[in-house]
Structure 1
């Protein structure tokens, strides 16, 4: 199976980053029209159903509940951009290691689809939010708790992927540099052996 050239992956990555950035700007602009009593992060991670219903009462009074629905839909643009960005970055990181550290490259290729976990959870979060908005004053309390739980897990997944994948890639690069090619370590001239053992050090630089 032919793999796409690296240049194609880079172009797709640029498009994904642009989509994510556009989606985030659009999301924040749409949420600003909601005039929500709290920040979006607070609204998403609050599990108390009565508190959330109180916020929805405010939105109903302002006539901006429909803007909250629009915010959840606009968020899908950001989700798609972030998911594609995470997967493509991981695939490109794996490709950069193919000649240097093949086992590590294989690990990154295998986990690449899983880097879209956080955006996938964001999608589930949006679905739960839309269900709550469908009955803003009477949605079941467990629905609010589930929405907040998914939001917290999403945040944990974002941190895990954002820290874990780059850290593994950097560790893999360092491991390669420390081992040289074919298991041979090229010593600097100052510490290379002299005399009969000089041939073990390899050619002079």
Structure 2
């Protein structure tokens, strides 16, 4: 147990330090304005758009096991991106997609990605009954945030977004939510996913 706590602390501190260094190296990702309570945010990384080949990334599951795009993309994939599962809107978004995946054919994959530590994600999923989709962490390498241009400068969080990726690995739908505290357009995202079936 002590070893796990030590590992979590090391990752959290390392993530904060590397986030600061990373911010100095990454390009500004988007011309589109994203705000938090009306205040502009700067997104770092490499912005993607519909039609692009989906960039590879590596995140970790709740056991700190690496998970990459190739592990998820054997069928149409919806990636729900949230700043932190411990906030109201992020919780609503994650629960909404968890319920939606139960009603969709098994021929699709839905995941949520945040920069929360896997321990927090595991606690959240247990408390909220999130069992139908994976909740993955970008806390270790910030690989997803950088590759998809959704890493918020000076916060180490991800901007709220939705990406739908087809089986050929192309981005077929994208929504970068303009205000961090707003929910995404669930209907459009799920319709884009269903078009791939």
Q: Which has the higher helix share?
A: 1
Q: Which has the higher strand share?
A: 2
Higher RCO by CA contacts (8 Å cutoff, separation 6 or greater): 2
Point out the structure with max Rg over C-alpha. 1
Q: Same fold (TM over 0.5)?
A: no
Compute the TM-score of the two structures, normalised by the length of structure 1: 0.26
